């Protein structure tokens, strides 16, 4: 590995296990989609991806930009690889999409902003597949199903916007340098590009899960007149003692529409 000190503030844990790299490449979706990588780091995953796909990689760390530039001179000159020196969240704020055209996001993500990145990718209308290494605990939240204690707004949003969501495999700390304190997982999401959700629906979910172990009814009782809320629960056949993780994604969607209409 290059003589470079990993920066904690950028969530730098470089993947050093070639078996894991190969498994990510094998999981790469078939088809002609462009690839976007977030955080190429020292370029080990990038080197494997660019063999198969044209791609853009967003990297925030100035010290890595020079290294990547000389390592991938040929690929950059031939336009197969574009390296963008930018915080990816700023890029999303400025451009709304990370690529003009259908793309797949494939990355070993910086864990400190992984949840945020996945939510942005789910909202990005051009992003079709998401294959990302993240903290196992977070991957489990995105794939959790109703009645599982981990089922939360992340699982609901993922279910409403995808046709497939699963953990492909787990990766132990020793596969990285430096080794993180947690086990990692490679998460796979296939989006339904016809679906989207509103900011207001996300706010509604935030209220529903404001106290995740308390009753759902109590969490949202300030949003709408109590009598109307009781009526909505009866119409949707939801018991008033139900906890937030015990309601399915599609019921949340229906409940939101009724609450919105009931407020008007
Ligand atoms: N892809 C490399 C690998 O697998 O070894 C590095 C992965 S490391 C976990 C995360 C990478 O994301 C680092 O290169 C880090 O500098 C970069 N990064 C952190 N925050 C970022 C941000 N806001 N925008 C773009 N890149 C970021």
Which pLDDT score is estimated for 2?
65
147 is in an annotated binding site: no
Give the distance, in angstroms, between the CA of residue 89 and the centroid of all CA atoms in the same chain. 12
Torsion of CA 82, 85, 89, 94, to 10 degrees: -80
Q: Does ligand 1 come within 6 angstroms of the Cβ of 235?
A: no
Using most ligand atoms within 8 A of CB, pick from 88, 110, 116 the residue to mutate for ligand 1: 110
The answer to whether the beta carbons of residues 253 and 231 sit under 8 Å apart is no
> Of all protein residues, whose CA lies closest to atom 21 belonging to ligand 1?
60
Q: What is the pLDDT of residue 242?
A: 98
Neighbour-count burial of 16, counting CB atoms closer than 10 A to its CB (0-12 exposed, 13-18 middle, 19+ buried): middle
Q: List residues bridging with 59 in a β-sheet.
A: 85
Which pLDDT value is given to residue 63?
A: 95
Q: pLDDT at position 263, please?
A: 74
Q: What is the CA radius of gyration of the chain?
A: 21
Nearest residue to 124 via CA among 151, 155, 87, 99: 99
Q: How far is the CA of 31 from the centre of ligand 1 (A)?
A: 26
- Quote the tokens at residue 48: 């494997």
pLDDT of residue 264: 63
Question: 39: phi > 0 → left, psi -120 to 50 → alpha, else beta; which?
Answer: left
Tell me the best of 15, 23, 39 to mutate to test the pocket of ligand 1, counting ligand atoms within 8 Å of each CB and taking the most.
39
Q: Which pTM was predicted?
A: 0.96
Question: Averaged in consecutive runs of 10 residues, what is the pLDDT profile of the chain (264 residues)?
Answer: 84 97 96 96 97 97 96 98 98 96 98 97 97 98 97 98 98 97 98 96 97 96 93 96 98 96 78
């Amino acid at each position: 590995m290059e003589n470079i000190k990993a920066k904690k503030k950028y969530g730098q844990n470089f993947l050093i296990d070639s078996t894991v790299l190969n498994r990510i490449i094998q999981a790469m979706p078939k088809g002609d989609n462009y690839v976007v990588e977030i955080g190429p780091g020292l370029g080990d995953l990038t080197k494997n991806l660019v063999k198969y796909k044209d791609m853009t990689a967003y990297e925030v760390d100035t010290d890595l930009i020079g290294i990547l530039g000389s390592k991938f001179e040929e690929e950059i000159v031939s336009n197969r690889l574009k390296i963008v020196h930018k915080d990816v969240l700023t890029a999303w704020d400025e451009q709304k999409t990370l690529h003009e055209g259908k793309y797949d996001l494939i990355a070993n993500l910086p864990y400190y902003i992984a949840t945020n990145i996945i939510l942005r990718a789910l909202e990005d209308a051009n992003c079709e597949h998401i294959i990302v290494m993240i903290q196992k605990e977070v991957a489990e939240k995105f794939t959790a199903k109703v009645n599982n204690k981990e089922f939360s707004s992340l699982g609901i949003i993922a279910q409403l916007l995808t046709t497939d969501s699963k953990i492909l495999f787990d990766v132990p700390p020793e596969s990285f340098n430096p080794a993180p304190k947690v086990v990692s997982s490679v998460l796979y999401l296939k989006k339904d590009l016809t679906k989207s959700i509103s900011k207001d629906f996300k706010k509604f979910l935030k209220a529903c899960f404001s106290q995740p172990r308390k009753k759902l009814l109590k969490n949202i009782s300030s949003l709408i007149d109590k009598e109307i809320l009781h009526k909505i629960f009866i119409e949707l056949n939801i018991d008033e003692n139900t906890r937030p993780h015990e309601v399915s994604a599609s019921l949340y969607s229906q409940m939101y529409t009724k609450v919105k209409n009931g407020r008007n």
